[in-house]
Amino acid sequence: MKKQNVSGYYGMMLVILVGIIMIYPLLWMIVSSFKPESIIFKEAGLWPSQVTMENYVEGWKGFGGVTFSEIYINSFTLVFFVILGNLITCSMAAYAFARLTFPLRKMFFAAMLVTIMLPHHVVLIPQYTMFYKLGWVDSYLPLFVPKFLATDAFFIFLMIQFIRGIPRELDQAATVDGCGVYQIYWRMILPLAMPALVTTTIFTFIWTWNDFFSQLIYISNPKLFTISLALRGFADATANSSYGQLFAMSTVSLIPVFIIFIFFQKLLVEGISTSGLKG
């Protein structure tokens, strides 16, 4: 028993040490955001000799005539439509695969799984060509319209696994009560699949909020910049870089992610665990 207690103690200390090492860059960035820019890279410690809010004040003014409040609104607008598209279409596709019987269902399901393993860069050029011909480039349309066509196979698969864990006897009871396919989906499946829906919402929020590559490809107008693109503007290799403002606005950009994770952590863990164990 003593050996087990000692080994558990050392294991806990190792986890704490690794956690401190992993979180140190984040802490350094937050502390550096309160330092004058002239001493950011001169002081390596976490205790600043001078504290200032100038980085936050100047960073919030933005650049190119676009304030950071407008950039925040742009990001939330894009995230809202992406989440809405994923919740509606991915849940409908998952319900169809998990509960309905239709021709070539297994083939379509296999094709969907293949898209999970297909790198995004493989389809980037054909997608860009198509959106360019549609006149959608330099807008948010290429970033959220595909979400209304159930293109995120990962979330479809996650919801399929969750829905398969819901007893089919509930479907039969609902059918006896006069419910059709759409009523079963709306009144029974969606409420019971809430953990999976919350998991989809959180992951979609985080991935879209932090996405840089796709937004860089399709957006060039500073008025449409999201947070990921705006942060890049503070560190320009061809001009003067404002690292203090970059660290300050990076810290501000993390706040929504932390809030979402803290308030929905329980449902997130429940959705992942139950989806991963079913099927």
Q: What DSSP string describes the chain?
A: -HHHHHHHHHHHHHHHHHHHHHHHHHHHHHHHTTS-GGGTTT--SSS-SS--SHHHHHHHT-BTTB-HHHHHHHHHHHHHHHHHHIIIIIHHHHHHHHH---TTHHHHHHHHHHHHHS-GGGTHHHHHHHHHHHT-TTSSHHHHGGGGGT--HHHHHHHHHHHHTS-HHHHHHHHHTT--HHHHIIIIIHHHTHHHHHHHHHHHHHHHHH--HHHHHH---GGG--HHHHHHHTS-TTS---HHHHHHHHHHHHHHHHHHHHHHHHHHHHHHHHHHH--
Among the listed ranges 81-95, 194-208, 233-247, which one has the minimum average pLDDT value?
A: 233-247
* The pLDDT value given to residue 14: 86
Percent of all residues in the chain with a pLDDT value above 90, rounded to a whole number: 44
Q: What is the mean pLDDT of residues 1-30?
A: 78
* The pLDDT value given to residue 1: 47
In a domain, 29, yes or no: no
Confidence band, pLDDT 50/70/90 cuts, at residue 87: very high
In a domain, 222, yes or no: yes
The token pair that represents 66 in the structure block: 């676009």
In a domain, 252, yes or no: yes
Q: Is pLDDT of 65 > 60?
A: yes
* The pLDDT value given to residue 239: 57
Q: What is the mean pLDDT of residues 177-203?
A: 90
* The pLDDT value given to residue 236: 66
Confidence band, pLDDT 50/70/90 cuts, at residue 136: very high
Domain count, the chain: 1
Confidence band, pLDDT 50/70/90 cuts, at residue 278: very low
Q: Angle at the Cα of 104 (from 147 to 109), degrees rounded to 5?
A: 45
* The pLDDT value given to residue 6: 61
Q: What domain range includes position 231?
A: 62-277
In a domain, 16, yes or no: no
Q: What is the mean pLDDT of residues 158-173?
A: 89
**Rounded distance, CA 20 to CA 9, Å?**
17
Q: Is pLDDT of 39 > 90?
A: no
In a domain, 3, yes or no: no
In a domain, 175, yes or no: yes
In a domain, 24, yes or no: no
* The pLDDT value given to residue 3: 55
**Rounded distance, CA 177 to CA 11, Å?**
55
**Rounded distance, CA 187 to CA 167, Å?**
15
Q: Is pLDDT of 106 > 50?
A: yes
Confidence band, pLDDT 50/70/90 cuts, at residue 279: very low
Report the CATH number at residue 66.
1.10.3720.10
In a domain, 142, yes or no: yes
Q: What is the mean pLDDT of residues 261-273?
A: 72
Q: What is the mean pLDDT of residues 109-122?
A: 88
Residue 66: φ, ψ to 5°: -115, 120
* The pLDDT value given to residue 240: 66
* The pLDDT value given to residue 179: 87
